[in-house]
Amino acid sequence: MTQAPNADAVIEAFSDIPALLKADLALITRGRFLDCDCRLGPMEQPFFVAIRAGRIVEFAAKPALMRSWRFSYCATPVAWSEYWKPMPKPGFHDLLALTKRGEAVVEGELHPFMTHLQYFKDLLALPRLRQAKAAA
């Protein structure tokens, strides 16, 4: 049975993503043609993320009035918690597995998401590295 995750822990893990990306030059390079404002994170408390040339230049947790975004990928805390496990269980191991099972919603103008699909899969999996290290 899936244990209900601590929502604060999910937020905290998300907050690590900019630093984790900064250390991943291969992933930055993969996103070198990507400029995009998007909304990523838990459904109830998403982050507004500004990406320029593959680098995160803004990662805002606090709601901002009339903030624009091109696409949004948000999932339940359970989904993020499972996705970040070193060995996620079946159905929780991929962003689109999560949307298929209704644990995540992708919406908006999907062009930047689809042109950089592996980039976003890997970007949003970065907290898994930290979890794997903690489990080691």
Chain residues binding other proteins by CB under 8 A are 87-88, 90-91, 93-97, 99-101, 110-111, 114-115, 117-118, 121
> Which CB sits closer to other proteins, 48 or 126?
126
- Is the CB of 93 or the CB of 130 nearer to other proteins? 93
Residue placing its CB nearer to other proteins in the complex, 22 or 101? 101
CB of 94 to other proteins, least distance (A): 3
In this structure, what token pair is assigned to residue 98?
């999560």
Query: Cβ 99 to other proteins, closest distance in Å?
Result: 7
